[in-house]
Structure 1
Amino acid sequence: MNAPLVLPGPHATSLDLGGRTALVTGAAGGIGRACALRLAAAGAKVRAVDRDPEGLDTLAEAARGLAGTVEPQVLDLTDLDAAELSAAGTDVLVNNAGLQLVRPIEEFPPEAFHTVLTVMLEAPFRLIRGALPHMYGQGWGRIVNVSSVHGLRASAFKSAYVAAKHGLEGLSKTAALEGAPHGVTSNCVNPAYVRTPLVEKQLVDQAAAHGIPEERVLSEVLLRDSAVKRLIEPAEVAEAVAYLCSPQASFITGTSLALDGGWTAH
């Protein structure tokens, strides 16, 4: 894997979320962890949702000393009723949790397809549904859906992931149209491959699916369509999320912010 990028500064976006409650799903690692820490640094009380208690404990420890707080909440998002309840009273909602399986369609387990769509599409719907009454009541809210370049483009062997992300794009736009009269924005951020455990675990599956050695997957598969030949860092995605929560982004809604290194420029 290529060397991590050293970012010029930890918090480039001016953001004050003091007194706000944020909920971040998939918060124990990767993009979710970076988002939880970024929003806590801005003063938010962050409900960090994940099914990994150890990862959440590590996150809470890392958040000590920040302007805001991180409150771990162990939750499996396939429990849709619990997911909706967890979003009550939320000012900022970051739908980030995801999972991946790389298989040809004819070999893709139907139960895995169902689980991916439950976690990555139906759960965000339920979380938004749970958050909107409070957001509407106060006339302010920010929904940020961590989509993917695969919400804008398809790739072979990722039927469930691509279907879920394309669905999330439509859900986000619908929430934007309904939320606009109430001061609520809804947007997607669309990173290409991010340096996360989810991506690193794909290497073996991608090698098998494409019939190439694992060491060739990064350059020949993951970065093939990107003009910028590196992985994006979780902190870069978190900064885009922060920007969409800032006053400067109050007129941005219903859009998809591509962090794809030029992938969709083709």
Structure 2
Amino acid sequence: MTEKSFPLWTEFFGRKSEKHFRLGVLLTSAMLAVGGAFSSLRPAHAQWAVYDGANHVQNVLIAARTLQQIDNQITSLANQAQMLVNQAKNLATLPLSTLSTLQSTISQTTALLAQAQNIAYSVQSVEQQYQQSYTSVSSGMSDSALFSQAQTRWQNSVGGFEDALKLQARVVGNIPSDSSAMTQLVSASQTSTGALQAAQAGNQLLALQSRQLSDIQAELAANGRASALERARNAATEAESEAQYQHFSQYNAYSPTSVSMFGSSGN
């Protein structure tokens, strides 16, 4: 092969290589274009096949937190409902009431005190009766007047003791009803469903104790009245004895006279 023919071969092979290069570029471009076309024609759900673990974990955590918040809200609502139930129990009133019984007992005791004989439980009555029958005794009074006042004082003392005995019987008669009321109130307090019922039971127990104290006070007053009347009668009796002695001492002294005995006259 001559030097003249070498450039010919070089040109030939150069042209062949360039042609092949151009064909390769065209084929590559075509394949990319076809691939892009097919990729655009694929359905969208084909992309879901890709699994993202981090995203899945994040979604699970969000769902767990949401469930925890819902559970907390449910617990809070349950607590509020229980609080309302407890408030309703605390506001429930006590079905038991002993007020009418206590008022009736107090009325009976008051009626007995109002029935006090001769000298009533009144400052004005005491001053008037005491002045007339206990401090007005004097030596200038007649025997009949002294006797009348003594009779009045004795009746006052007897009436005072009778009044005290009646009141004592009334107080003793209240004991069974007081025991029954106390048992009911203590039971109601122990089985109360709320604070209001317990407080009402306690208040009624205090009212029962107050009524019992009023009975004791009335009994002490009746006993004191009877004792005071008797002491006043004793003091007035001493004054009456002094007045009777004064009456007796006002008569003339004894003077001897002749007495006839066995039908004889003379000494």
Report the TM-score range of the alignment, normalised by the length of the smaller protein: under 0.3
Question: Of Structure 1 and Structure 2, which has the larger fraction of its residues in strand?
Answer: 1
Structure possessing the higher relative contact order (Cα contacts under 8 Å, 6 or more residues apart)? 2
- TM-score, length basis structure 2: 0.20
Question: Of Structure 1 and Structure 2, which has the larger fraction of its residues in helix?
Answer: 2
